[in-house]
Amino acid sequence: MFEPLEIPGLLLIRPRRHQDSRGYFTETFSEDVFAGHNLPRFVQDNESMSQRAGTIRGLHYQTEPFAQAKLVRCTAGSILDVAVDLRTGSPTFGRHDAVKLSAADGALLYIPIGFAHGFCTLAADTIVAYKVSKPYSPAHEVGLAWDDPQLGIRWPVDSAAAILSDRDRRHPGLASLPAAFAWAN
């Protein structure tokens, strides 16, 4: 089931689980099904593991020609997943949607090009897997301050207790970012 979120372009995807006495089976990705919903072709799979709850990764995005759409799922533990609209001219520019993803529910979040993405782990030993539509390019990677007050994100961890990389602590706020994406209605 593909559920549009409040910000246009973001989709919460809930694959059907077939349960029996052994557990469950689910199809998390089908190129034909996703293409039928006008989602891009994915070219790379990524995975991260965070040892402690309260770990924040992000907010990240890549600029053209390596801008990425993402398909995110949590395969162990749970996260608060956040996408911030960076499409200049969008009626939701600078706003965000946040959804809880967990291994228990199996939902996925589709994030199109034009969004910064990040998440906070809600459990220890959380694993996040995501597909991207373009390969990683360090020269095109940009970050947005996770705690920028202009964004108004309600992270589930106090800023003093949040676990971040040094790089993620130094990202600029929204007002300092150059325009990277245009709203295409």
**Residue numbers annotated as active site:** 60, 130
* Burial annotation 100-134 (CB, 10 A radius, 16+ → b, else e): ebbbeebbbbbbbbbbbbbbbbbbeebbbbbbbbb
Distance separating alpha carbons of residues 113 and 64, to the nearest angstrom = 9
**Amino acid present at 72:** V
Task: Rounding to the nearest 10 degrees, give the CA dihedral for residues 150, 140, 115, 80.
Answer: -80
Three-state DSSP class for 37? coil
**C-alpha pair distances (Å), 46 with each of 21, 49, 127, 172:** 31, 11, 10, 25
Distance separating alpha carbons of residues 81 and 130, to the nearest angstrom = 12
